[in-house]
Chain A
Amino acid sequence: MKAIDYRIERASDVAGAVEALQADPFAKPIAGGQSLGAMLNLRLAQPECVIDIVGLDALKGLRIESDEMVIGPLVTHARLEDGRYDDATGGMLAHVAAGIAYRAVRNSGTIGGSICHADPAADWIAATAALGATFDIQGPDGTRQVAARDFMTSAFETTLAEADVLTAIRVPALGDTARWSYRKFCRKTGEFALAIVSGVVDGQTGIERLVFSALDGAPVVIERAGLFDELAEPDARQVLLDDDALSISGHRRALHAGLLADVIADIRGTA
């Protein structure tokens, strides 16, 4: 199918994008277009106006600021996959990026677009929650920060208001001895995952975090997860997976169970 007739406005800066979004309640920002483009073609999205933010330098690039990485929302998956930047996550960003879709999609799709689109199976939604990231958001009332774990509210729903723009993704640096694992199950390479489990353990900061994702809604984040003690036992893992808070339905529970065992093996270094 073809998209409905819409117009495109190029934003000249972030404030201008916010203003344009505020002026038209049926306007939407567009970054890499790799999710919105498909939604437009399928007419699942029917905006009157699309605000093109892809030229905004303030939303590009990637730097380390004291103890965190500050990633511009327009950084593409391919750029992260190629790893030619100062990395404070011990390779986790590159690993996650390489597993998203296909190279032709990764060359255009952005980390910010993926987060704002908030597909329950999106990789950056899960990975930024596991890394304990924080998002900078600019809107009509100024700027604010939201923790990754609080950002997504349900499938394709976030705390972004209509005229808000995501302006940065802040990822805390992992310590030298930190360990991470990111596992997902896809029926076919590059397809959205049916199950995602990720773990991050950092002795220096005392983080021991476990994330389940590709659920019905937002990811579930468990702090002090007991990856080294309780969860070493299959029985304890089953109790966790059966917990209503996770609400993993039917056959997916078996997929998450398998991935959880792999994550624990990765983190304990027994994989």
Chain B
Amino acid sequence: MSAHLEFPESHTVTFRLHVNGEEREVSAEPRTHLADVLREHCGLTATHLGCEQGVCGACTVEIDGVPQRSCLQSATRFEGREIRTLEAFENDPLGAALRRAFSEEHALQCGYCTPGMLITARDIVQRLPQADEARIREELAGNLCRCTGYRGIVRAIQRVLETYPHESSDGR
């Protein structure tokens, strides 16, 4: 006996996205948000989904160089934009400095929040080189971590702010 499932008709559209320096052609329903397209259609699973309401920050990616939620907008709206997920920062010096500091300061346990944390951390280091602990905590308010209690994350970002030379890694 086999189950027969009936799905409603779907209305997919085909569009192009520029993800991590590569051109991608994607077919998806317009309602599909960017995070689902990155994960399910591009195989880029570093971007996590927690709340799909903009609150937890796990889905934060870089759009045209600045952090944005990827759970709140249809992927089709990102045509022509420069999308970068955590995977893009593998060989990036600031990315490497942040990963090392996160590891050394115990800034992650389960790792669910970590991709969003690293994207936000990058923004803090580049935009607010003078940030003190209070400012770092304020900026991290949009990224929830259920494991670490944040101290390690704050220390990791502080360490990178102190040690990483303040010219940005990609000339911006």
Residues of A at the B interface (CB closer than 8 Å) are 1-8, 33-34, 37-38, 40-42, 50, 52, 54, 78, 101-105, 107-108, 188-190
Distance in angstroms between the alpha carbons of A105 and B53 in the assembled complex: 11
Q: Residues of B contacting A190 with CB < 8 Å?
A: 141-142
Q: Does B105 contact A (CB under 8 A)?
A: no
Q: Does B14 contact A (CB under 8 A)?
A: no
- Evaluate contact between A104 and B141: CB separation under 8 angstroms: no
Whole-angstrom distance from the CB of B153 to the nearest CB of chain A? 15
Report the contact-size class of chain B (Cβ under 8 Å from the partner). 20 to 34
Query: Quick one: which of A3, A101, A188 contacts B31, CB cutoff 8 A?
Result: A3
Q: Residues of B contacting A50 with CB < 8 Å?
A: 30, 74
- Evaluate contact between A105 and B76: CB separation under 8 angstroms: no
- Evaluate contact between A189 and B141: CB separation under 8 angstroms: yes
- Evaluate contact between A5 and B68: CB separation under 8 angstroms: no
Q: Residues of B contacting A42 with CB < 8 Å?
A: 53
Q: Residues of B contacting A34 with CB < 8 Å?
A: 54, 69, 72
Query: Quick one: which of B31, B36, B67, B137 contacts A104, CB cutoff 8 A?
Result: B67
The proximity string for B residues 64-87 relative to A, scoring 1 for CB distances below 8 Å and 0 otherwise, is 001111011110110000000000
Distance in angstroms between the alpha carbons of A6 and B63 in the assembled complex: 24
Residues of B at the A interface (CB closer than 8 Å) are 8, 10-11, 29-33, 36, 52-54, 57, 60, 63, 66-69, 71-74, 76-77, 120, 123, 127, 137-139, 141-143
A5 in contact with B73 given A107-B63, A107-B67 (CB within 8 Å): no
- Evaluate contact between A108 and B69: CB separation under 8 angstroms: yes
Query: Quick one: which of B32, B53, B57, B72 contacts A33, CB cutoff 8 A?
Result: B72
- Which partner residue on chain B sits nearest A49 by CB separation? B30
Query: Quick one: which of A7, A102, A103, A107 contacts B11, CB cutoff 8 A?
Result: A7
**Centre residue among A3, A41, A103 by max chain B CB count within 10 A:** A103
Q: 20 more A-B contacts (CB under 8 A) besides A5-B10, A41-B72?
A: A2-B36, A3-B33, A4-B31, A5-B11, A33-B77, A37-B73, A38-B53, A40-B31, A103-B120, A103-B127, A104-B60, A104-B69, A104-B142, A105-B54, A108-B72, A108-B73, A189-B137, A189-B138, A189-B141, A190-B142
25 A-B interface contacts by CB (under 8 A): A2-B32, A2-B33, A3-B31, A4-B31, A5-B8, A8-B30, A8-B74, A8-B76, A37-B69, A38-B52, A41-B52, A41-B53, A101-B142, A102-B57, A102-B143, A103-B66, A103-B127, A103-B139, A103-B142, A105-B69, A105-B142, A107-B66, A107-B68, A108-B69, A189-B141
Q: Residues of B contacting A40 with CB < 8 Å?
A: 31
Q: Residues of A contacting B33 with CB < 8 Å?
A: 2-3, 37, 41
Whole-angstrom distance from the CB of A40 to the nearest CB of chain B? 7
Whole-angstrom distance from the CB of B80 to the nearest CB of chain A? 10
- Evaluate contact between B72 and A1: CB separation under 8 angstroms: no
- Evaluate contact between A2 and B72: CB separation under 8 angstroms: no
Q: Residues of A contacting B76 with CB < 8 Å?
A: 8
- Which partner residue on chain B sits nearest A188 by CB separation? B141
Distance in angstroms between the alpha carbons of A37 and B72 in the assembled complex: 4
- Which partner residue on chain B sits nearest A108 by CB separation? B68
A6 in contact with B31 given A41-B53, A107-B68 (CB within 8 Å): yes
- Which partner residue on chain A sits nearest B139 by CB separation? A103
- Which partner residue on chain B sits nearest A52 by CB separation? B77
- Evaluate contact between A103 and B77: CB separation under 8 angstroms: no
- Which partner residue on chain A sits nearest B79 by CB separation? A10
Whole-angstrom distance from the CB of A109 to the nearest CB of chain B? 9
Whole-angstrom distance from the CB of B118 to the nearest CB of chain A? 13
Distance in angstroms between the alpha carbons of A77 and B12 in the assembled complex: 32
Q: Residues of A contacting B53 with CB < 8 Å?
A: 38, 41-42
- Evaluate contact between B31 and A5: CB separation under 8 angstroms: yes
